[in-house]
Amino acid sequence: MSNNRIVSGMRPTGKLHLGHYHGVLSNWMELQRNFECFFFAADWHSLTTEYASTDGIQDSINEMVLDWLAFGIDPEQSVIFKQSRVPQHAELNLILSMITPVSWLERNPTYKEMQENLTTKDLSTFGFLGYPVLMASDIIVYKAARVPVGQDQIPHLEITREIARRFNYLYGEVFPEPAALLTETPKVLGIDGRKMSKSYGNAIFLSDDAEETRKKVMSMVTDTLRPFKRDPGEPDRCVAFTLHSLYVDADKRAEIVEGCRGAQLGCVDCKKILAQAMVDTLAPFREKRVELAEKPGLVDEVLAEGSRKAEVVAKQTMDEARAALKV
């Protein structure tokens, strides 16, 4: 086991938005400087909900990994790979499914929540119920010491720990129980005030150009209790202001708060300040993405090399697991 190893994956949903950047990518960029990181495109996990429409998964992986590379996830520092290219994930998933009680899966807080929310999909499948087993396989096949999670994801990681503990109890010590590495995950609101999500149609994408970014920011909900510029406003009621803390420096934010509450700064001007700050901050990354997108085969090359490195580690772990199983 490497006490410095971290594993984290992302389902390929296509181009990433600001919520992905501030919730995941910014943390990954920091982690890769201090840990041995394995970051993967979780295409098997996509099948738990997208099994009936798989045509877009590969394109989504390409778009997602381009965003990773453009925003600083470095294949020289981290192992970047595709889940389905490392067969040991599926093999360990099969083995762990033999020892995982159904009751553990049914109590997973996400299981019923997603069934209730994704009413247009039939999620009464073995794969959807058992996705925490696959998640456990993804993590412990690399003997990860830590997994970066937000506070709300700790129950999911606890299932992984329980599965690893059960295997070790039945067959002998093979898998460490990965610890949670709590990371900052600011809630990023979309242009309509709901959580930013591609499915809600309220997202500002990392790959949007400057014009599209400005257009979306200018359409954002502001203080609904301030119909006119002459009325005092309250930044804490303004959806657009939630992004100021991520893109505008503290001194400028203080000016904006004073101008808003004093009815000296209108919502349109406030959003123009935000839009320009976002465009300026994201410009270097967006330019890098355009440059990378012009290199055909780049993503495939990165994933192929990363998958090769990942499989070396995963194969060694599975040799130990098979020996413990005596099969």
Q: Is the dihedral of CA 248, 250, 254, 255 positive or negative?
A: negative
d(CA 29, CA 183): 12
Query: What is the C-alpha to C-alpha distance for residues 9 and 65, in angstroms, rounded to an integer?
Result: 11
Q: Which CATH superfamily is domain 5-188+296-324 in?
A: HUPs (3.40.50.620)
Looking up tokens 């090359």 gives 301
Work out the angle at residue 311's Cα, subtended by the Cα atoms of residues 309 and 312, and round it to the nearest 5 degrees: 70
**Domains of the chain, residue spans:** 5-188+296-324, 198-289
Contact 22, 246 (CB under 8 A): yes
**Among 34-48, 231-245, 303-317, the least confident range:** 231-245
Sheet with 146-149: list strands edge to edge: 79-82, 36-41, 5-10, 146-149, 179-182
Q: With 60 as the cut, is the pLDDT of residue 282 above it?
A: yes
In angstroms, the CA 235 to CA 224 distance is 11
Three-state DSSP at 214 gives: helix
Average pLDDT over all residues of the chain: 92
Condensed to tens digits (0 to 9), the pLDDT of residues 166-179 reads 999 999 999 999 99
Instruction: Answer yes or no: is pLDDT of 2 > 70.
Output: no
User: What's the Rg (C-alpha) of the chain?
Assistant: 22
pLDDT tens, position by position, 58-107: 999 999 999 999 999 999 999 999 999 999 999 999 999 999 999 999 88
CA angle, 107 then 87 then 306, to 5°: 105
Query: Could you tell me what percent of the chain has a pLDDT over 90?
Result: 74
The pLDDT value given to residue 156 = 86
Q: What is the DSSP letter of 8?
A: E
pLDDT top residue among 254 and 14: 254
pLDDT at 1: 44
pTM: 0.91
pLDDT, one tens digit per residue, over 123-138 is 889 998 999 999 999 9
Non-local CB neighbours of 215 within 8 Å, separated by 6+ positions: none
pLDDT score recorded for residue 225: 83
Helices 154-171/131-140 angle, 10° precision: 70
> What architecture does CATH give domain 198-289?
Orthogonal Bundle (1.10)
| C-alpha dihedral, 317 to 319 to 321 to 324, nearest 10° | -140
Q: Which two tokens stand for residue 255?
A: 């000016």
Pinpoint the alpha helices (H) of the chain: 18-20, 26-31, 43-50, 57-70, 88-97, 102-106, 109-117, 126-129, 131-140, 154-171, 210-218, 241-247, 250-261, 267-293, 298-325
Quick one: pLDDT at residue 117?
66
Q: Could you tell me the two tokens for 105?
A: 């899966």
